[in-house]
Structure 1
Amino acid sequence: MVAVLGPNAVGKSTLLQTLAGLHKATGNILLDGVELMTQSPGQRVRLVGYLPQTLPQPTSLVAYEAMLSAVRAVRPDLPTKRAESLVSETFNALGLSDLALRRLAEMSGGQRQMIGLAQVLVRKPRLLLLDEPTSALDLRWQLSVIKTVRTITTRDGAICLMAVHDINLAMRFCDVVIVLGKPGLLAAGPPAEVMTSDILREAYGVEGRVERCSLDMPVVLIDHAVETR
């Protein structure tokens, strides 16, 4: 799991969208030795699952139908029983079984965000690109989402790039953090090594520090904003 951190408007969403094939780019994007930029949209969508910041529309579809449609769009070759099994497995993994027969139009924003995440996970992509997957969720569901994605990426040997604003969530659950700033890439590496007072100052314009909680987990504490001249 890789967290993409940084203040607003430094390119976190643009980076994920580009990896998903939604923007033109130069250079190379290699996934397991496969050059994604040469893949057709149909080929890339089988390898890459992208969750945007925008929530799924509040349609008359029930969640089960929305999930099954997501599988069929990418894997029309799957037998019906296998596709239905994947949907059930994903509902169970995310704790969303109670929402399976609810219409998206009847759901809260947080519930629709969870269904959007489920539509990505059900396809079992090799690369997950999640743009603020916890933004509309309360604390309990934030923790549930991060832990579930962590479990799934470990189980399936997948890679997850996740743009988030919560530095402490990223430090606790991610293997690597990437910090973007106005000049571009500021730092990348293990969270405990990357998140320093200097990086917090350069990226976010704040004075802060990293301390350890009672569980010996790193926690970022912010003291005050840096005065601008």
Structure 2
Amino acid sequence: MGEHGFSLAQLAAGYPGRPVLQDVCLQRVPPGTLVAVVGPNAVGKSTLLKAVAGLRPVRGQVWLEGIDLATLPPRERLRRVGYLPQALPQSSSLVAYETWQSALRASRSEWTAAQREAAIESVVDSLGLQALALRRLDELSGGQRQMVGLAQVIVRAPRLLLLDEPTSALDLRWQLQVLQAVRALVQQQGTVGLVAVHDLNLALRFCQHVLVLGGGGVLAEGDPAQVLTPALLQRAYGVQARVERCSQGSLLVLADAALPL
């Protein structure tokens, strides 16, 4: 496999007695790429991210920068892979800053105190979280806790980001803020990000690659502008839809009708 980027080869994953994904392949995506993982409910988007993160049993190969992640000890995998689940961080009396420090102590123990401080400051600035840094988690809204959880993942500087619906609890402004920041981070650090999203217009706007799941495997992958066609949307989602350009030139998915099952 190539020494740079990320790819999947014949990946299979699921739960005892219930296989979810079979023979999932993703061509090598280069460093600096944000990949949208899309598809209807219950097709395995979360299962895929958990499998790549090492949280579910998996067959096949997960390649990151020339290394099969399955061959790494858990601590080294934790250093390289950052995973944000759908579940919000638990409410607690800890302030946000303390959770970020804890994340660094667990995964970046070799960093000095000054390095940890600098990493936190950088992430707080990029995500616009200055007002939350000294707030207790049990005082925060669901969307604010989601932002704190995202910062916990990003601050560790992983080489692979796995974000499971990171905008699900956020309003419109924060959805844009998060994906702008994640895309910039991935590009600046030369990492790879996989983002499970339901909003196809966010995928079109912020992601350079898309992986469409359905039927236990991959329906399509590639450039979102080429992959997300009316025919693919009908096959994947069972909808009649259009893909058109807005007045500013951005592509938009417009769903007109749900088709009979």
Q: TM-score range by the shorter chain?
A: over 0.9
For 2:100, the equivalent position in structure 1 comes to 67
Q: Deviations over 1:32-79 (max 9, x none)?
A: 101101111101010000000000011100000000100110011111
1:167 aligns with 2:200: yes
The separation in 2 between residues aligned to 1:195 and 1:122, in whole angstroms, is 32
Amino acid at match of 1:202: R
| Mapped contact 2:44–2:216 kept (Cα < 8 A) | no
More helix by share: 1
Q: How far off is 1:111 after superposition? A: 0.2
Please give the root-mean-square deviation of Cα atoms over the aligned residues, in Å: 0.7
Q: How far off is 1:183 after superposition? A: 4.2
For 2:20, the equivalent position in structure 1 comes to none
Q: Which of 197, 221, 234 lines up with 1:201 in the alignment?
A: 234
For 1:126, the equivalent position in structure 2 comes to 159
Q: Which of 15, 24, 32 lines up with 2:48 in the alignment?
A: 15
Amino acid at match of 2:187: T
Q: Which of 144, 164, 178 lines up with 1:111 in the alignment?
A: 144
For 1:84, the equivalent position in structure 2 comes to 117
Q: How far off is 1:13 after superposition? A: 0.3
The separation in 1 between residues aligned to 2:219 and 2:242, in whole angstroms, is 17
Amino acid at match of 2:128: G
The separation in 2 between residues aligned to 1:155 and 1:126, in whole angstroms, is 12
In structure 1, runs of 5+ residues without a counterpart are none
Number of residue pairs the alignment of both structures matches: 228
Amino acid at match of 1:152: L
Q: Which of 151, 155, 176 lines up with 1:143 in the alignment?
A: 176
1:214 aligns with 2:250: no
Q: Deviations over 1:177-224 (max 9, x none)?
A: 111112421000001100011111111010101000001110001110
For 2:81, the equivalent position in structure 1 comes to 48
**How does the TM-score come out when normalised to structure 1?**
0.98
Identity of aligned residues (%): 57
The separation in 1 between residues aligned to 2:164 and 2:57, in whole angstroms, is 19
For 2:210, the equivalent position in structure 1 comes to 177
Structure 2 SS opposite 1:28: strand
Structure 1 SS opposite 2:59: coil
**How does the TM-score come out when normalised to structure 2?**
0.86
Amino acid at match of 1:121: I
The separation in 1 between residues aligned to 2:155 and 2:68, in whole angstroms, is 24
In structure 2, runs of 5+ residues without a counterpart are 1-33
Q: How far off is 1:28 after superposition? A: 1.0
Aligned ranges 1:25-40 → 2 under 5 Å: 25-40=58-73
The separation in 2 between residues aligned to 1:202 and 1:183, in whole angstroms, is 14
Amino acid at match of 1:175: Q
Structure 1 SS opposite 2:211: strand
The separation in 2 between residues aligned to 1:26 and 1:227, in whole angstroms, is 35
